[in-house]
Chain A
Amino acid sequence: MSSVPAIEARGITRVFQSRKGFFYQDVTRTEALRGVDLTIETGEIFGLLGPNGAGKTTLTKILTTLLLPTSGTARVLGLDVTKDTERLRARIGLVLGGERGLYNRISARENLRYFADLYGVPLAEREKRVNEVLEWVGLTWAADRRTEEYSRGMKQKLHIARGILHRPEVLFLDEPTIGLDPKSARETRKLIRSLLGEGVTIFLTTHYMFEAEELCHRIGVLSRGRLAAVDTVAGLRDLVGGDRTIEAEDYGFEDSELAAVRHLPGVSKVVSEEYGPVTRLTIRVRTGDLTIDTVRQNLIGHGGLQVRERRTSLEDVYLDLVEEEAR
């Protein structure tokens, strides 16, 4: 047993310079990552959430040696991602997914054989391993078809098969279920979860809250190149003010009413949003004492008042965190 974390990043920044214009004279600087610290333990499934352009793919590529950080250090399995690249690449897997990234004119089996060779999967074991991963992702039936005939979901499964071909100890997946129909997405999640049983540490990025909630032990919310929070789902709920949310809706509320609700014991946060003529108050509740009725009593005189309670969703948490970071 070693105590080395699977992933350890310190102060990672990354700046992109892109050039435009006839003489490439216009330089645009993009700070994709602005100081990311992160530790992920062996055997964990870690999910990275964040809006478009937050830097999720950039961080994934830095951790998988495909991009150098502008500053900061990162170690995966104790190996420096900028120096021990060769040894590290043999021990980690990367699934970038999507329609691209496969040799389309040849079969899935030949794609896998090729990468098995580049990864140095022992030759004696190669055919067995290729069959094994094809079986595991359920593509045995289409193994000898050209991948240009594959559907999006089949390609995605093939990407995952390629990612685990060489039995990596850490697997990185960038938006593994994007563009998949619900059934394929569920199958893909099942595959990812089953890897955990084999001791693989998993780092994934996603835009789907339920996916992160369903799969991940811990979640990081990346916003504009910074980690706004890293915690378990429960921990994140706490962070944004409790796991109970009460919603009250009617045609407008008085400021005094709003203030009254805000000052009720146990209320940690109240957000008021307009939906056409309807105003919705979203009330985050920290303790169990405050009930729907208490809220109702403070909003007397609203004929059409609707009050309901639900569990604070990861989406609530996410939106709160991303909003705070953006302010």
Chain B
Amino acid sequence: MATVSVPRAHWSGRRSTLASIRLAVLTFLADPQWLIPSMIAPIVFGFVSFELFLGTPDLVVYVILGAGMMSMWGQTLYGSGWATGQDRNIGTLEPTLSAPTPYVFVVLGRILWNVVSGLIGIVLVFVVVVVATGTVPSIDNPVAFVVLFVFTMLTLAAVGTVFAAAYVYTRYAGFVQNVGEFAFYIGTGCMFPIVILPFWTNPIALLFPPSWALDALRYASIPGYVGFSWGLGWDIVGGVATTAIYLLIAGIVFKRVERHVLEVGNLQEY
């Protein structure tokens, strides 16, 4: 009996994720000016909220969160899914999927890069607002703020992964996402606390990991903030739990989606 020795594919998820980050950075560096258009809306929003909340303890949170989340939406959520749509458009989805590495690692790399570039955007908005108004807003508890901010971004990244799966699944994901964008801004509370929205929207918002994280962030940075009645601790628990669920869903969905696209045969678009 001739036995065929089959060497295992020696791809690694970590290496592929790093490769994906590298590709994203190189693509960004090739045309860094593309960051500017995606920064205009957040900067405008930054100014408006600065005027609105001047002199209130909420100032920093609203300037940074509002503007920041806008840039995060653009970078993390939109960017991650969009890159997959782009892969389909320029015909790189097929060569990428014909490699042994699961596509989810490529997406993960892009999301991580997008989180970083979203941060660059937030810093940019902050600097522009500070320079233009000559006021340096003070942060109540800087350490907690930074930690929870990073946490908020990771919850966003988890949502981004699920979105990216939708982009692999269908060519029409962009349509759904554009419609969902506004609902997302308001529903998750990056513009203002969701507790002031009609009560029925709250349970829906709580399905989104960032809603929990944002509430926690407000608790930590606004003195006397009244958000969800369960308070900071449970906000964090809820954020971690929903994020974990999203990542789990993303993992399962990606496996399914990769199979589904091979069934339908919609990897290319001309």
- How many contacts between A and B, using CB within 8 angstroms? 113
Assess whether A119 is interfacial by the CB under 8 Å rule. yes
29 A-B contact pairs sorted by A residue (CB < 8 Å): A2-B3, A3-B2, A4-B2, A16-B265, A61-B265, A66-B97, A67-B267, A68-B263, A78-B6, A86-B9, A87-B6, A87-B9, A89-B9, A90-B8, A90-B10, A94-B94, A94-B95, A96-B91, A103-B90, A105-B27, A106-B23, A106-B26, A113-B19, A114-B19, A115-B95, A117-B16, A120-B10, A120-B12, A120-B101
Q: Which residues of B contact A64 (CB under 8 A)?
A: 98
Residue among A91, A96, A101, A118 making CB contact with B11, cutoff 8 Å: A118
Assess A120 versus B262: contact at CB under 8 Å? Given A100-B90, A101-B92, A106-B27: no
Assess A114 versus B22: contact at CB under 8 Å? Given A105-B27, A106-B30, A123-B15: yes
- In the complex formed, the residue of B with least CB distance to A162 is B95
Residue among A78, A90, A96 making CB contact with B95, cutoff 8 Å: A96
- In the complex formed, the residue of A with least CB distance to B9 is A90
- In the complex formed, the residue of A with least CB distance to B19 is A117
Contact B91 A101 (CB under 8 A): yes
Residue among A77, A104, A118 making CB contact with B101, cutoff 8 Å: A118
Q: How far is the CB of B92 from chain A (nearest CB, A)?
A: 6
Q: Which residues of B contact A119 (CB under 8 A)?
A: 11, 99-101
Interface residues of A (CB under 8 A from B): 1-4, 16, 61, 64-68, 77-79, 86-87, 89-91, 94, 96, 98, 100-106, 110, 113-115, 117-120, 122-123, 146, 162
Contact B265 A98 (CB under 8 A): no
Assess A105 versus B30: contact at CB under 8 Å? Given A86-B100, A120-B9: yes
Total residues of chain B contacting the partner, CB 8 A: 38
Most buried by A among B4, B6, B9, B99: B99
Contact B100 A120 (CB under 8 A): yes
Tell me the bound Cα distance from A96 to B95 in angstroms. Answer: 8
Interface of chain B residues 19 through 34 with chain A (CB within 8 A) = 19, 22-23, 26-27, 30-31
Q: How far is the CB of B169 from chain A (nearest CB, A)?
A: 15
- In the complex formed, the residue of A with least CB distance to B260 is A68
Tell me the bound Cα distance from A118 to B17 in angstroms. Answer: 9
Contact B90 A66 (CB under 8 A): no
Q: Which residues of B contact A89 (CB under 8 A)?
A: 9, 98-100
Q: Which residues of A contact B217 (CB under 8 A)?
A: none
Tell me the bound Cα distance from A120 to B90 in angstroms. Answer: 23
Q: Can you name 13 extra interface pairs (CB under 8 A) apart from A90-B10, A94-B95, A114-B22?
A: A66-B94, A66-B97, A66-B98, A67-B267, A77-B6, A86-B102, A94-B98, A100-B92, A105-B27, A115-B99, A117-B15, A120-B11, A123-B15
Assess whether B18 is interfacial by the CB under 8 Å rule. yes
Assess whether B96 is interfacial by the CB under 8 Å rule. yes
Q: Which residues of B contact A87 (CB under 8 A)?
A: 6, 8-9, 100
Most buried by A among B23, B102, B106: B23
Q: Which residues of B contact A117 (CB under 8 A)?
A: 15-16, 18-19
Assess A98 versus B9: contact at CB under 8 Å? Given A65-B98, A103-B27: no
- In the complex formed, the residue of B with least CB distance to A15 is B265
Q: How far is the CB of B174 from chain A (nearest CB, A)?
A: 17
Give the top 10 A-B pairs by smallest Cβ distance, nearest first: A100-B91, A90-B9, A117-B19, A120-B11, A118-B99, A101-B91, A105-B30, A89-B100, A90-B100, A120-B10
Tell me the bound Cα distance from A65 to B96 in angstroms. Answer: 12
Question: B88-118 interface mask toward A, CB cutoff 8 Å, 1 = contact, 0 = none?
Answer: 0011101111111110001000000000000
Q: Which residues of A contact B101 (CB under 8 A)?
A: 118-120
Tell me the bound Cα distance from A162 to B95 in angstroms. Answer: 9
Question: B50-85 interface mask toward A, CB cutoff 8 Å, 1 = contact, 0 = none?
Answer: 000000000000000000000000000000000000
- In the complex formed, the residue of A with least CB distance to B91 is A100
Contact B30 A66 (CB under 8 A): no
- In the complex formed, the residue of B with least CB distance to A101 is B91
Q: Which residues of A contact B95 (CB under 8 A)?
A: 94, 96, 101, 115, 162
Tell me the bound Cα distance from A94 to B97 in angstroms. Answer: 11
Q: Which residues of B contact A123 (CB under 8 A)?
A: 15
Q: How far is the CB of B5 from chain A (nearest CB, A)?
A: 9
Assess A120 versus B15: contact at CB under 8 Å? Given A96-B91, A103-B92: yes
- In the complex formed, the residue of B with least CB distance to A81 is B262
Q: How far is the CB of B82 from chain A (nearest CB, A)?
A: 15
Contact A122 B10 (CB under 8 A): yes
Q: Which residues of B contact A4 (CB under 8 A)?
A: 2, 4
Question: B193-229 interface mask toward A, CB cutoff 8 Å, 1 = contact, 0 = none?
Answer: 0000000000000000000000000000000000000
- In the complex formed, the residue of A with least CB distance to B102 is A86
